Amino acid sequence: MSNNNVQFVAQPGGRVNGTIRVPGDKSVSHRSIIFGSIAEGTTRVEGFLDGDDSLATLQAFRDMGVEIEGPDQGRVTIHGVGLHGLKQPSGPLYLGNSGTSMRLLSGLLSAQPFPVTLTGDSSLSKRPMNRVAKPLGEMGAVIATAEGGRPPLELSSDSKLRGFDYQMPIASAQVKSCLLLAGLYAEGTTRVTEPAPTRDHTERMLTGFGYAVESEPTPSGKQISLSGGGTLKAIDIQVPSDISSATFFLVAAAITPGSELTLEQVGINPTRIGVINILKLMGADLCLKNEGLAGGEPVADIEIRYAPLHGIDIPVDQVPLAIDEFPALFIAAACSEGTTRLSGAEELRVKESDRIQVMADGLDALGVVNEVMEDGIVIQGGPIRGGTVDSHGDHRIAMSFAIAALQSIGEILIDDCANVATSFPNFVELANQVGMNVTAR
Ligand code: S3P
């Protein structure tokens, strides 16, 4: 079946109630496979996201000779081969829809003594890779991209990496992680400075695997440094539930009178909680309970109940901390009293789709007044009509319009939804379990 053939049909109305646990964090799942594979010893993972993106990373390491058992109900066992034990794959590594896999692997594989080519699906093939290819080139990597810095990426075996100091021009955890992975193999010290805080799962997990990483605050974000030549020691990892997946249900409860929902053991890493901060600023009634730690990451149950939302100017410092949550937050804005303004979010244009334009087109189709900016959008709260929207194969856009139906006047049809399986394979099941009416056909 082609990806274009899965359509969601979301019936208007309903409310959301109950207690659910959303699947494992995608960013942490990718990193558990990467670090487990290059560690010495056996890494056992629980709560692994059994989604197409993290499975693409898992398959890539199997293709490079790493023995990996599972996933079996979220359990994965990785028999690490050490930093120098990866083998040349028999062909290109296909990474599907997953930008994280391509950008993180480009750093790690630039440093291997074999050539390798990284490819992806039509969406990934349009995404910018110079943001990693250029700094890796400065470290001494030999990389070829297709025209315009797009995939495929051809990584040569002739690279000799040197540590360097890099000021990232964009706030990107993928770029930071890519360079730190290359830095594991580089001669000397690699220092990466963020222009604003970005998710720090790589630094946390490297530390968990016993690798020395230094993190110094700077006026804008942090400078992270590590030196090449160490080793990683296998550990056990408990993957928290993904706050990016929890977001669809947080917004669903926030916009729907009569809703009261608990999301269990969600990752609340401070570099990921922009959605909580933004929803609270909009008036959401939300609190954290049972705070604890899972695999070096803070977790909590999130309780949310309906309260009327109002439009806000989204603080620019929250943008990198909520970067994957904006499609759902745009639905919250549509259901708010007044105007919501987002700026400083040009990165949304180079995600799995152009999330500013694709969301604006969908909002237009449902009669929600909005104005597109180069780096953001202005959304006027008001009634949501029924209609048909195109997700452009973007998982988060498909799920966002599905929750919009809770407040729509008519049925919402969403095209091109197969990629929901990249991050949230049981979304439709959980949506129906809490009281929504969504079918996939
Ligand atoms: C990710 C980083 C973010 C995010 C992506 C996952 C990661 O991308 O959008 O879904 O796991 O490092 P950028 O670093 O490009 O902002």
Q: What is the CATH number of the domain that holds 198?
A: 3.65.10.10
Ligand 1 atom index nearest CA of 171: 16
Q: Is residue 1 part of a domain?
A: no
Q: Is residue 2 part of a domain?
A: no
What are phi and psi for residue 176, nearest 5 degrees?
-55, -50
Cβ-contact 167, 179 below 8 angstroms? no
Classify residue 1 by burial, with Cβ atoms within 10 Å: 0-12, 13-18, 19+.
exposed
Q: Is residue 261 part of a domain?
A: yes
- Of 237, 288, 236, the C-alpha closest to 266 is 288
Domain that holds residue 284: 8-20+240-440
Side chain identity at residue 105, one-letter code: L
295 pLDDT tier (thresholds 50, 70, 90): confident
DSSP secondary structure, 365-419, as one string: HTT--EEEETTEEEEE---B--EEEE-TT-HHHHHHHHHHGGGBSS-EEEE--GG
Q: Is residue 377 part of a domain?
A: yes
Residue 250 belongs to what H/E stretch? helix 243-255
Judgement on whether residues 90 and 54 belong to the same structural domain of the protein:
yes
Give residue-wise pLDDT tens across range 194-239.
999 999 999 999 999 999 999 999 998 899 999 999 999 999 999 9
Instruction: Record the tokens describing residue 308, joined without a space.
Output: 């009327």
20 pLDDT tier (thresholds 50, 70, 90): very high
pLDDT beyond 50 at 3 = no
Mutational pocket test of ligand 1: of 199, 243, 319, 397, the residue with most ligand atoms within 8 Å of the beta carbon: 199
pTM above 0.85, yes or no: yes
Classify residue 270 by burial, with Cβ atoms within 10 Å: 0-12, 13-18, 19+.
exposed
Give residue-wise pLDDT tens across range 298-334.
999 999 999 999 999 999 999 999 999 999 999 999 9
Q: Is the CB of 27 under 6 A from ligand 1?
A: yes
Task: Write down the pLDDT at residue 298.
Answer: 98
Domain boundary among 189, 210, 238: 238
285 catalytic residue (yes or no)? no
DSSP secondary structure, 116-163, as one string: EEEE--TTGGGS--HHHHHHHHHTT--EEEEGGGEEEEEE-TT---B-
Judgement on whether residues 208 and 271 belong to the same structural domain of the protein:
no
Judgement on whether residues 179 and 263 belong to the same structural domain of the protein:
no
Instruction: Record the tokens describing residue 122, joined without a space.
Output: 């039509």
Q: What is the mean pLDDT of the chain?
A: 97
Judgement on whether residues 39 and 80 belong to the same structural domain of the protein:
yes
Residue 186, C-beta contacts closer than 8 angstroms, at least 6 positions apart: 111, 139, 140, 161, 162, 163, 164, 228
Cβ-contact 182, 208 below 8 angstroms? no
Give residue-wise pLDDT tens across range 142-192.
999 999 999 999 999 988 999 999 999 999 999 999 999 999 999 999 999
Catalytic residue chosen out of the listed positions 200, 324, 390, 394: 324
Task: Write down the pLDDT at residue 2.
Answer: 42
Instruction: Record the tokens describing residue 319, joined without a space.
Output: 């943008």
Compute the distance from residue 172 Cα to the ligand 1 centre, in Å.
Answer: 6
Distance CA 304, CA 249 (A): 9
Judgement on whether residues 248 and 312 belong to the same structural domain of the protein:
yes
Judgement on whether residues 13 and 84 belong to the same structural domain of the protein:
no
Distance CA 243, CA 181 (A): 24
Judgement on whether residues 230 and 250 belong to the same structural domain of the protein:
no
Compute the distance from residue 175 Cα to the ligand 1 centre, in Å.
Answer: 9
pLDDT beyond 90 at 272 = yes
Domain boundary among 238, 266, 287: 238
